[in-house]
Structure 1
Amino acid sequence: MELFPAIPLDSWYDTKQTLHRFEQVVGKIRLQHSPRRNHWWNVPFHVTGRGITTRPMGLVDGNPVFTVDFDFVGHRLVAANLDGRTASFPLQGHSVASFYLGLQSALDSLGVDGSITHATPFDLSDTGRPFTEDREHAAYVPEHATRYWQVLSQVALVLEEFAAGFSGKTSPVHHFWHTFDIAVTRFSPHPVPQPREAGQLVREAYSREVVSFGFWFGDDHIPEPCFYSYTAPEPDGLTDRRLDPPSAEWVSSGQGHLALLRYADARKSPDPRATVLEFLESAYRAGAGLAGWDLDALACPRGITDPYLAGR
C-alpha cells in the first residue's frame, strides 16, 4: 500500500474518540500492573503485526504474566496469559462502559486482577466520568481502525530509522495512550530540576534535557495529522532556527513551541519518507544544537557504532 495514506481527522473522528478511550482503559491497566521504568517507558503501547500490545505485564503485582492486545485486522481485543489461555471479544459494538466491563470479565477468566485505581479518562473532555458510565462513545468503524494502525506502523518504522542515528540515551518508539501519539525521545545526561508542583508525570518525564519527536492524528487544537518535535527545556532563540522542508514551521504550544510538519505536506512531497527524516533531523539540530549537545559525538550514522564499519 502507499506510504502515508490519507487519514483526515474528520473522516474518523467518532471512531478515534471511542478508540482513544478504549486504549486509555487498557493503558491504565498497563500503568498499574507493570514494573515502572524511567521516564514512564513502561506505560505506552508498542506496534505489532496486527495492532498494538501492552507487552507482558504482571508478576510483580501478584498476577500471572499477561498481555492485552488490540487486533486491528480481526478487530478484537485479545487478553492472554503465560499458560497459553486467551480471552477475546469484538471491538465493534461496544461503548466505553461495555468495553471496560468486557475486558475485566476477560481478565478475570484468565485469573488476572485488572483493577484500576483511577478508572476515568486522563486529560480528555470527560475526565471526571467513570469508564463504567460512558455509553456516549460507542463508534467503531473497522476500516478506520485498520487505517489508523497502518499509518501508525509506517510512522513507527520511519521513527525507528531516525532513532538509529543517535548513540545516546533514547526511548523506544512507542504509542502513548494518554495523548494518542507515537513518539521517540532523545536525552542528554544533563538533569533538569523540576519543582514539586510540576506534578509526578512531568517530574519523571522531563528530569533530563530532551528533544522529542513524534506524530499525532490531530485533535481539537490542531485538527489534522502532523509530525512534530519539541525541545525541553526550550532554549532561547529556538524559533529562529531553520526547519526543513520549507513547509515545516514553528507553532506556539502551551508555554513553548513545536516544530510542525503537516502530514498532508509530507504526503505531497516526491519522497515522503525522506521529507519526514529531513524534518526530524532539522528539528533535532535546532533544539540540541542550541542546548549545547555534542552533535558529532552523539551521531550514529546508519545505526552503526562499530568503528570498523562506520566509515564504509
Structure 2
Amino acid sequence: MELFPPIPLAEWRDTKETLHRFAQVVGKIRLAASVRRNHWWNVPFRLTGRGTTTSPMGQVDGNPIFTIDFDFVAHRLVVSSLDGREISFPLAGRSVASFYDAVMEALATLGVRTRPALARPFDLPDSGRPFGDDTEHATYDPVQANRYWRVLSQVASVLEEFAAGYSGKVSPVHHFWHTFDIAHTRFSERHVPQPARTDPVTREAYSREVISFGFWFGDDTFPEPAFYAYTAPEPAGLPDDPLEPATAHWLDRGASHLAVLRYDDVRAETDRRAAVLAFYESAYRAGARRAGWDLEALACPGGVTDPGLRPHGHGDAVAG
C-alpha cells in the first residue's frame, strides 16, 4: 500500500466538512464522559485497525462504561457497552442532524445518559448552529473517508517512531476532533504563566513549555494537507534555524512561526518516511536549542533510555 497517497483537500472537502462535524459530536460526548487528564489528553481520539475510537469512558459519571468507534472500513459508527451490547449504523447518507439523533438514540438504548454540554460545532463557521439543526452537511464518500483514515494511520506510525527518540514527558499520538489534526507533543517542566484573559482550553494545553508535531488535512486558511511543528512559547530567533528537507519552511503567523512541510512535497521525496522524520527532528532541535533544553539528557535513541541496552554498531539490543 502506498505510503502517503494523494489526498487533495479539493477532492474531499464536502466529505471532510461532514466528517469533521460527526467527529465533533462524538468528541463532545467523550469530553463529557471521560476523566479529565492533564493538557486535555482525555479529549482526543485514538486510532484502531479499522478507524478511530474514543477509548472506554463512563463509570465515573454514573454511566455504564461505553465506547464509540468510527469504522472506516465498513463505514459505520459503533456504540458498545461493557456488557457486550452494541448498536451500529451507517455513516453514509446522513446529515449531521440525523447523525446526532442516531448517536443520542444509541446511547439512550444502552442506558447512557451523557449529553454534550454544548451540542454545536467548536471553532467552525457554523458554531452557532446546533448539531440537531444541521441538514446542510450530509456528504460522505466512503472511498475518501477510508483514505483519510489510512493517511491518519500512516502519519501516526511515523509520529510513534519519532516519539521514541525523547525520554521526557510526552503526549500520546492522538487525533484531535476539534481541529481535525493528529499530533504528538514534547514537554519541558518549565511552567508558562498565562495572561488572565486566556481561555481555559489554551491555559491547560500550554501550561508548560512545549514543542508539538503533527499533520492536518487543510482548511480555508491553508488549503492543502501538510506536516507541521511549533514551539510554544516561541523562543527568539527560531525562524532563523534551517529545516529539513529543503522544501520545508517557517510560516509567519504574526505572533509566532509554524514549521511547515507540504504533503505533496513529501510525496515527491524518494524516501517519504525519512523526509517526515527529518522534518520533525529539525524542527525539534531548532526549538529545543533556542529554548535551552538539554538535548543530550532527553535523548532516547531507538526508544531505549539505558545506554547499556542500546545496540552497538549494527547489532540489535536483545533482552533475554
1:117, CA displacement in angstroms? 1.2
| SS of equivalent residue, structure 1 residue 184 | strand
State the match for 1:72 in structure 2. Answer: 72
State the match for 1:105 in structure 2. Answer: 105
1:1-312 alignment, distance < 5 Å: 1-253=1-253, 255-312=255-312
Give a deviation string over 1:9-62, Cα, whole Å, max 9, x none.
Answer: 000000000000000000000001100000000000001000000000001111
1:254, CA displacement in angstroms? 5.2
| SS of equivalent residue, structure 2 residue 197 | helix
1:255, CA displacement in angstroms? 2.2
Q: Is the 8 A contact 1:181 1:215 kept in 2?
A: yes
RMSD: 0.7
**One-letter code of the match for 1:253?**
R
Distance (Å, rounded) in 2 between the aligned partners of 1:21 and 1:121:
7
Q: Is the 8 A contact 1:47 1:153 kept in 2?
A: yes
1:113, CA displacement in angstroms? 1.3
Give unpaired runs (5+ residues) of structure 2.
313-320
Distance (Å, rounded) in 1 between the aligned partners of 2:160 and 2:48:
14
1:198, CA displacement in angstroms? 0.6
**One-letter code of the match for 2:161?**
E
**One-letter code of the match for 2:298?**
L
| SS of equivalent residue, structure 1 residue 203 | helix
Q: Is the 8 A contact 1:38 1:204 kept in 2?
A: yes
| SS of equivalent residue, structure 2 residue 201 | helix
1:309, CA displacement in angstroms? 1.4
Give a deviation string over 1:105-163, Cα, whole Å, max 9, x none.
Answer: 01111111131110010000001100011000000000010000000000000000000
Identity of counterpart residues, as a percentage?
A: 68
Q: Is the 8 A contact 1:196 1:203 kept in 2?
A: no
Distance (Å, rounded) in 1 between the aligned partners of 2:45 and 2:168:
23
Distance (Å, rounded) in 2 between the aligned partners of 1:245 and 1:195:
36
1:306, CA displacement in angstroms? 2.5
The verdict on how the C-alpha distance between 1:237 and 1:194 changes in structure 2, with shifts beyond 3 A counting, is: same
The verdict on how the C-alpha distance between 1:286 and 1:60 changes in structure 2, with shifts beyond 3 A counting, is: same
1:308, CA displacement in angstroms? 1.8
**One-letter code of the match for 1:182?**
I
Distance (Å, rounded) in 2 between the aligned partners of 1:307 and 1:163:
18
State the match for 2:316 in structure 1. Answer: none
Q: Stretches of 4+ moved more than 2 A in 1?
A: none
Distance (Å, rounded) in 1 between the aligned partners of 2:15 and 2:311:
48
Give unpaired runs (5+ residues) of structure 1.
none
Residues 189-198 or 147-156, more deviating: 189-198
**One-letter code of the match for 1:307?**
P
Distance (Å, rounded) in 2 between the aligned partners of 1:188 and 1:269:
32
1:305, CA displacement in angstroms? 1.1
| SS of equivalent residue, structure 2 residue 189 | strand
Distance (Å, rounded) in 1 between the aligned partners of 2:39 and 2:107:
28
Aligned residues: 312
Q: Is the 8 A contact 1:187 1:210 kept in 2?
A: yes
